[in-house]
Amino acid sequence: MKGRGKIWAWFFIILGILYFFLPLIATFLFSLRAKLGVLSFQAYANVFNDPKFIRSFTASLLWATLTILVGIMLFVPTAYWVRLKVPKARTAVEFITLIPFVVPAIVYVFGLVRTYSQPPLLIVDSPVLLIAAYTILSMPYMYRAVDIGLRSIDVRTLTEAAQSLGAGWGTILFRVIIPNIRVSILNGAFLSFAIVMGEYILAQYLVKPAFAPYMAGLMQNKAYEPAALAVISFALTWACMGIIQVVGRGQQGQIAGGH
């Protein structure tokens, strides 16, 4: 009975792996067939040599970096304050952070365009609106990652210990709290990075250069290059996850016996 269960477990694991990896392998193999009759990285070369790729990719990198910075500045102090001063509000705040999961991006973007394309806040053309929108979109990931980090430390006692040693709020946040939830912030940052790099609707409808709309445009008139781009974006996401793992390993031990 036990052996049979094990066989089924393996069956489903292999099925899962095949389901996930087969399309990826197929896409990768397809992306190598840009030259007739030989396997080559021609499609990748074409992508990297395309100035539009560089432009859209660097634009998305910039949007992602700014989104992460704004997200950290907004959500770290908020999550810290809620946990320290208004723990009763946690459920309500958590609900608010989940709203981007419920509201479809297309509805969200139309709301933004309608609201900010008329006075008094005529900022529909400004990258500020795009960054603000991305920040909201990445809020569930960033806020929850930070909140999980705060849950792993004794926020109240560490704060009080620092206060009794003469520290003000800024010192407490930057020298005591943030260093101890560094891994969680990085988790949130990389997840936000992956979200922004792959986001299509906001950039498309707010008419800003970005990686996903470029990829979508390419798919309309090319065959192999979009496949190469899909593999590149997968590699990018995996690199982010890998970095989270590597950085996370370093701090685990430090927190384990911390209190």
Q: Residues interacting with another protein, by CB under 8 A? A: 153-154, 157-158, 160-168, 171, 175-176, 179-180, 182, 253-259
Closest CB to another protein among 2 and 88? 88
CB of 251 to another protein, least distance (A): 8
Report how far residue 109's alpha carbon sits from residue 193's, in angstroms, rounded to the nearest whole number: 19
Provide the minimum distance between the beta carbon of 171 and another protein in the complex, in angstroms, as a whole number. Answer: 6
Nearer to another protein, 50 or 154 (CB): 154
Smallest separation (angstroms) from another protein to the CB of 254: 5
In angstroms, rounded to a whole number, what is the distance separating the alpha carbons of residues 70 and 112?
18
Q: How many CB atoms lie within 10 A of CB 214?
A: 23
For another protein, give the closer residue by CB, 247 or 255: 255
Measured distance CA(178)–CA(80) in Å, rounded: 10
Of 91 and 164, the one with the shorter C-beta distance to another protein is 164
Q: What's the Cα-to-Cα distance from 81 to each of 152, 173, 237, rounded to whole Å?
A: 15, 10, 31
For the record, the structure tokens of 255 come out as 């927190």
Minimum Å gap between C-beta 178 and another protein is 9
Q: Is the Cβ–Cβ distance between 140 and 98 less than 8 Å?
A: yes
Closer to another protein by Cβ: residue 2 or 259: 259
Whose Cβ is closer to another protein: residue 165's or residue 241's? 165
Cis omega before residue 226 (within 30°)?
no
Instruction: For residues 117 and 129, give the distance between their C-alpha atoms in angstroms, rounded to a whole number.
Output: 11
Q: How many CA atoms lie within 13 A of 151 on its CB side?
A: 8
Question: Shortest gap between Cβ of 68 and another protein (angstroms)?
Answer: 21
Minimum gap (Å) between residue 154 Cβ and another protein: 6
